[in-house]
């Protein structure tokens, strides 16, 4: 694997370790290439089958008038996700630093000084472009499947579907933030050359293990609270949720999901950013968990929870509120 430079002045001491880390990442990915490919093929079949269930039932005349098409949901969900991520990117970058392995040794503040405050915006626009697909896939798949299989089942399909875009986004974004690569173009070309296409899906298993329960918990709790709130307002004919109410629901549902999935979020970050550390690289998810437990204790699995809470709450508040607002505008224009 190709050795990469870190933005810190002391990075020269870590060159050999970085080379070993990137090599390890390649070794983890390559021997099981066919297994990974089969797994992703199975997920695609699962998504296709689930979506076919919704299409087979066919929308009623009433639903056609009161719901968006798959493409419209893709636009509404994608734009809302990108807007939220662009606005909150520095907070997410700080969360990544806090959860990383170097921060466990020197502390977040010292690591931020070492990397430079500019890293809080590294890759902001380029990686946030992935958010259009991430949010679009989540909201369009869940919105299309929910009438057929319910919010919980639809959320599972939506979570897996969005991983096709969210895993490469996280790999590139977190390595840029940690100074593994100097810019987006270098990151893409180096990963493609040294690790192949599977390099963009490094850490996909812990990412999926985090995304599925998070998305399910967030969307199901949001749907539950939304139904309860609408039931209270049912006495007023035509009453709908305000932007403020959607913001509160988004924050509340995201906090539920964040608490449930925090340990897997830390593990995902460690696996994706270990090339920035001078420590011996993790060889697997199990090795990552055992090493963290022995060296740092149980509290290490909740590193970055305050930063993630500050990020996820407003992010999903913006997503749900803006998605609802865009949906209403699209339905009005249809008439």
At 45, the pLDDT band (50, 70, 90 cuts) reads low
Cβ atoms of 68 and 76 closer than 8 Å: yes
Cβ atoms of 179 and 96 closer than 8 Å: no
Residue 57 lies in a domain: no
Interval 255-271: pLDDT, tens: 988 988 999 999 988 98
Residue 201 lies in a domain: yes
Q: Based on the structure, what is the number of domains in the chain?
A: 1
Say whether pLDDT at 5 is over 90. no
Q: What is the DSSP letter of 3?
A: -
Residue 215 lies in a domain: yes
Global pTM value? 0.70
Q: How far is CA 280 from CA 14, 87, 298, in A?
A: 10, 35, 20
What is the SS3 assignment for 10-71?
HHHHHHHHHHHHHHHHHHHHHHHHHHHHHHHHHHHHHHHHHHHHHHHHCCCHHHHHHCCCHH
Closest CA to 223 of 202, 189, 246: 246
Residue 136 lies in a domain: yes
d(CA 81, CA 91): 15
CATH number at 325 reads 1.50.40
Residue 50 lies in a domain: no
Give the model's pLDDT for residue 259. Answer: 87
**Tokens representing residue 261 in the block:** 């999935």
Residue 147 lies in a domain: yes
Residue 318 lies in a domain: yes
Range of the domain at 157: 67-275+282-333
d(CA 172, CA 129): 12
Give the model's pLDDT for residue 139. Answer: 92
Say whether pLDDT at 29 is over 70. no
Residue 40 lies in a domain: no
């Amino acid at each position: 694997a190709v050795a990469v430079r870190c933005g810190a002045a002391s990075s020269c001491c870590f060159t050999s370790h970085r080379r070993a880390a990137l090599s390890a990442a390649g070794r983890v990915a390559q021997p099981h290439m066919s297994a990974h490919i089969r797994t992703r093929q199975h997920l695609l079949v699962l998504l296709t089958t689930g979506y076919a269930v919704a299409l087979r039932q066919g929308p009623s005349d009433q639903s056609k008038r009161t719901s968006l098409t798959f493409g419209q949901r893709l636009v509404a969900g994608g734009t809302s996700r990108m807007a939220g991520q662009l606005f909150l990117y520095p907070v997410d970058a700080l969360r990544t630093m806090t959860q990383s392995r170097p921060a466990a040794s020197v502390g977040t503040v010292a690591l931020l000084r070492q990397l430079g405050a500019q890293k809080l915006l590294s890759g902001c626009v380029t990686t946030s472009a992935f958010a259009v697909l991430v949010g679009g896939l989540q909201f369009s798949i869940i919105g299309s499947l929910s009438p057929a299989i319910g919010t919980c089942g639809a959320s599972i399909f939506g979570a897996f579907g969005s991983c096709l875009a969210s895993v490469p986004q996280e790999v590139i974004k977190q390595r840029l933030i940690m100074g593994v690569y100097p810019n987006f173009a270098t990151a893409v070309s180096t990963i493609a050359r040294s690790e192949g296409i599977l390099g963009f899906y490094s850490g996909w298993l812990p990412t999926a293990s985090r995304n599925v329960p998070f998305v399910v918990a967030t969307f199901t709790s949001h749907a539950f609270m939304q139904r309860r709130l609408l039931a209270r307002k049912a006495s007023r004919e035509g009453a709908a949720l305000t932007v403020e109410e959607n913001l509160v629901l988004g924050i509340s549902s995201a906090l539920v999901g964040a608490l449930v999935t925090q340990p897997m979020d830390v593990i995902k970050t460690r696996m994706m950013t270990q090339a920035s550390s001078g420590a011996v690289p993790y060889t697997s998810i199990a090795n990552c968990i055992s090493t963290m437990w022995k060296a740092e204790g149980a509290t290490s699995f909740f590193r970055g929870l305050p930063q993630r809470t500050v990020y996820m709450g407003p992010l999903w508040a913006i997503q749900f509120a803006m998605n609802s607002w865009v949906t209403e505008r699209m339905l009005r224009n249809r008439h």
